[in-house]
A and B are shown apart, each in its own frame.
Chain A
Amino acid sequence: MRRIINLRPGRGGIVLWGALPFLVAGVAYAVASAERLAVNPNDKLLPQLSSFGTALARLALNPDQRTGDYLMWVDTLASLQRLGIGLSVAAALALVLGLAIGLIPYVRAGLSPFVGVISMIPPMAVLPVLFIVFGLDELSKVVLIVLGVAPFLVRDLALRVEDMPREQLIKAQTLGASTWQIVIRVVLPQMLPRLIDAVRLSLGPAWLFLISAEAIAATEGLGYRIFLVRRYMAMDVILPYVAWITLLAFLSDAALRWINARFFPWLRAGKGQS
């Protein structure tokens, strides 16, 4: 008998083992739901799988009776817009501040303790302040995402710039590069994929902040809808919405990973099949 650390699944095995937990969870839900509905046909906690379909069709394919909007698409658009703006601003901040802190000793001396302290502020604790200062509409939600995600991105990028081999920076100088040229030809191209990876890791926190902000004050958005229908215990809406958010997060993660593979081929160079 070989050691278990040396046993590897084949191609089909990987698919099978990967799908298994999903199947188990699905079956467990269906069984539990059927049992509860058998006891009480009006049970709302674990609705039938088919009622998800009806709820989704109502929200996504039919206009709302009151407003005439397709609620799910309106919600999705609003949420993605907030998320996109928040993450873009945070990434841009990280690029400017992270590179400067990592590369320029004076900026590091001046800003790195400050960023270190700012990153320790729990963003949710200052959410009321954001609502007071920036109002209840879009800006405060975007600022919450930026505040929650940017310090991590800035610090991560600054550390990665500092970790660059000293030899590369010296080499660039012996080739006559100015600080600006080092930034745009040596540091920036190597840091962009790192930044994208850091943004991928921040997707989870970003969604957390978005949904929290929407839950408290919004008129549309995926988080707003979930917390709105919670009052009616409409699990047939909440669960599909959660699945939809998960899918969106998964797809944005995959898209960022694809960007890294497509635009930075040198990352994979020399590491087996590329």
Chain B
Amino acid sequence: MSRISVRNLWKEYPGQVVLERVSLEIPSGEFCALVGPSGCGKTTFLRLLLGEESPSRGVIELDGKPLVAEPGPDRGVVFQRYSVFPHLTVLQNVIIGREFERSRLLGKLFGAERRAAVEEADEILETVGLSAHRSKYPAELSGGMQQRLAISQALIRKPKVLLLDEPFGALDAGTKSQMYDLLLGLWDKHKMSVFMITHDLKEGFTLATRVLAFDKVRLDPQAPGAYGATVTYDLPLEAKPARKAAAA
């Protein structure tokens, strides 16, 4: 379960309101695309969901409980860049989630426990098509492969919510469409909620079951920071598998 309710959320910085009056009810398993012009609070909203920042006013609840104000294993994340650890191989990057969980002191697994984690990681790497590259370092991978690795890494802790900050922004068109299929497959399989920031409206509408558009509704030309952005459109789309079936 991963129901998210946002109630009257505000985020203010000194001299600037970024978000105002955001209220949302997102049922479990929804795929939300966050769209809108630059500087309208999409990333701030994602950071609030992530727990990297805390709201100035209002609450975000995950399954009825207020979010802890720091990132945790119930919320996975993939950034546009720098999401993977450059000093670890592909395989090590994926099992590190399990190692953090099972080995509090060393953060490293040995013997049977390690073998179990490796097996699990191999399965994920197989799904995202990185098995052949498991002993390479991230710098040796292409951009698309790095993002697939970042997604695999996030999936091993089975997060309730997956947050994606323009994950495909730096990829070429062909790689993007491969990544769409991959992401939809994983979303279907793991039954998690997904929030994805994108600058590409088409991408948002292709993938999401719900599109949230952020924009400023009030504007004071004398004080551009006086009013914040809010969710101006909250468009539910029909469920993806159904649409896929219709297209076939």
Contact = CB atoms under 8 A, between A and B. Distances in A.
Contacts of A175: 73, 96-97, 100, 153-154, 156-157
A211 B19 CA distance: 62
A8 B237 CA distance: 61
Given A171-B153, A176-B97, A190-B87, A269 B137 contact: yes
Main SS at interface, chain B:
loop
A174 B107 contact: no
Given A170-B71, A173-B72, A174-B72, A181 B100 contact: yes
A230 interface: no
Contacts of A173: 70-72
Contacts of A265: 137
Max count, chain A CB within 10 A of own CB: residue among B73, B100, B101, B153:
B100
Interface residues on A, range: 20 to 34
A264 interface: yes
B39 interface: no
Max count, chain B CB within 10 A of own CB: residue among A174, A181, A189:
A174
Interface in A152-190: 165, 167-168, 170-178, 180-181, 184-186, 189-190
A271 interface: yes
A167 B71 contact: no
A73 interface: no
Interface in B98-152: 99-101, 104-108, 136-141, 150
Contacts of B87: 189-190, 264, 266
B82 interface: yes
A170 to B, nearest CB: 5
A266 B137 contact: yes
Contact of B140 (A165, A172, A184, A270): A270
Interface in A104-150: none
B159 interface: yes
Contacts of B86: 190, 266, 269
Max count, chain B CB within 10 A of own CB: residue among A175, A189, A264:
A175
A19 B11 CA distance: 64
A174 B97 CA distance: 9
A185 B99 contact: yes
A170 B85 CA distance: 11
Interface string A40-56: 00000000000000000
B192 interface: no
Contact of B107 (A165, A168, A185): A185
B100 A177 contact: yes
B139 A271 contact: yes
B162 to A, nearest CB: 10
B77 A168 contact: no
Contacts of A185: 96, 99-100, 107-108
B81 A167 contact: yes
A181 B73 contact: no
B108 A167 contact: no
B76 interface: yes
Nearest to B52: A170
A174 B140 contact: no
Contacts of B139: 266, 269-271
Contact of A174 (B76, B84, B106, B141): B76
Interface string B156-172: 11010000000000000
B23 interface: no
Contacts of A264: 87
Interface string A252-272: 000000000000111001110
Nearest to B156: A175
A174 B77 contact: yes
Contacts of A170: 50, 52, 71, 77, 79
Nearest to A170: B71
B83 interface: yes
Contacts of A270: 137-141
16 contacts: A165-B81, A167-B79, A170-B79, A174-B75, A174-B154, A174-B157, A175-B73, A176-B100, A181-B104, A184-B107, A185-B107, A185-B108, A186-B85, A266-B86, A266-B137, A270-B138
Given A173-B71, A190-B85, A271-B139, 19 more contacts: A168-B82, A170-B50, A170-B79, A171-B83, A171-B150, A171-B154, A175-B96, A175-B97, A176-B72, A176-B73, A180-B105, A180-B107, A181-B104, A186-B85, A265-B137, A266-B87, A266-B139, A269-B136, A270-B140
Interface of A: 165, 167-168, 170-178, 180-181, 184-186, 189-190, 264-266, 269-271
4 tightest A-B contacts by CB? A270-B139, A176-B73, A165-B82, A269-B137
